[in-house]
Amino acid sequence: MNGAFAREPTLWRRILQSPFTRLVLLGGPVFVLMVASNTLMEYFKAAPLKSIAVAAGLAAIATAFYVGYARWIERRPVDELSLSGAGREWATGLLVGAGLYSACVMILIAFGMYRIEGLNPWTFVIPAVAMALSSGVFEELIFRGVLFRCVEDIFGSWISLAVSALVFGLVHLANPAGTLLGAIYISIEAGLLLAAAYMLTRRLWLSIGFHMAWNYTQSAIFSGIVSGNAPEPGLIRSNIKGPDLLTGGSFGLESSLIAFALCTATGVVMLILAVRRGRIVPPLWRRTG
């Protein structure tokens, strides 16, 4: 093993490496960068390419900060962001995310609740790139890279799964049309799925890909409402009419039984695979007992 990682850390470094300190000193700056990204994306809303550049730039800074903290403060290899196999896992996440959302829409079409009225120019798919990039990178760094790992270090995988999923869902209450039901749905369907993706691979690329593709497909392709935010026109001009239980109402398709069933089932499958592959971390007291 590299001597830099094996050396006994000093007291101040042990404090900086502790889960509670990491939540603040690592999660805090990444959160601030996410807020800055969202603010600047809104400012450059009329100039999509600038908005994409801002989102990409700040996401790169946040990732570099995360990697730097892990290597120089925590003194560990950053396996969760290793580039080996990253493209394959990210692409798999893209396919799963886009496929799941498309399947939800196909079910609505079969029920006659989603009607395609025409197509907008292809350029309508560009603006959502910034949103998908920002949400996919920042939220996965914060909720799976920081929060999940910090809680898991002490309480193990199962409690970390519950905590990170609950927090992930509840923060969506801050969205313009956020609802408690929508937050609960996201906690279970997305919180479980995204955490399971991390647990299965012990890397962030699969969850980043899924997160980006779901949000992008929802907005840029099907012109859907993303987690209670104001809807933006995408490639497909659509008309959605039906009970909120199936369409998600003002919160978007995430708050529907259809998305709940498909995403939760996918998350459970990945969770089972993670258990079978021995990817579950026990609580600290069982590791040291």
pLDDT digits (tens, 9 = 90+) for 213-228: 999 999 999 999 888 7
Structure confidence at residue 8 as a pLDDT band (50, 70, 90): low
Percent of the chain with pLDDT over 70: 96
Q: Does residue 52 form part of some domain?
A: no
pTM attached to this predicted model: 0.93
What pLDDT shows up at residue 234? 94
Instruction: Using only the alpha carbons of the chain, give its radius of gyration.
Output: 19
**Residue 88 falls inside a structural domain:** yes
- What local confidence, expressed as pLDDT, does residue 2 receive? 45
Q: What is the pLDDT of residue 7?
A: 60
* Residue 238 dihedral angles phi and psi, to the nearest 5°: -125, 165
User: Within a domain: residue 10?
Assistant: no
Place of tokens 């502790």: 18
Provide DSSP, 15-80.
HHHSHHHHHHHTHHHHHHHHHHHHHHHHHTTT-HHHHHHHHHHHHHHHHHHHHHIIIIIS-S--GG
Q: pLDDT tens digits for 65-107?
A: 999 999 999 999 999 999 999 999 999 999 999 999 999 999 9
Q: Output the CA angle 280-283-284, nearest 5 degrees.
A: 125
pLDDT band at 4 (very low <50, low <70, confident <90, very high): very low
Structurally, the chain folds into a number of domains equal to 1
In a domain, 24, yes or no: no
Cα–Cα dist 217/209, whole Å: 12
72 assigned to some structural domain: no
More confident residue, 9 or 139: 139
Q: Quick check: 178 and 227 in contact, CB under 8 A?
A: yes
The token duo for 197 is: 């993706």
17 within some domain: no
Q: Where are the alpha helices (DSSP H) in the chain?
A: 3-6, 11-17, 19-25, 27-43, 48-68, 86-110, 128-140, 149-170, 180-201, 205-216, 244-247, 257-276, 284-288
Question: Which structural domain, as residue segments, surrounds residue 205?
Answer: 83-288
Q: Is residue 279 domain-resident?
A: yes
- Residue 139 in domain: yes
Average pLDDT, rounded, for the chain? 93
Task: Write out pLDDT tens, residues 128-162.
Answer: 999 999 999 999 999 999 999 999 999 999 999 99
Q: From CA 184, how far away is CA 49, in angstroms rounded?
A: 34
**What's the CA angle centered on 66, arms 32 and 274, to 5 degrees?**
110
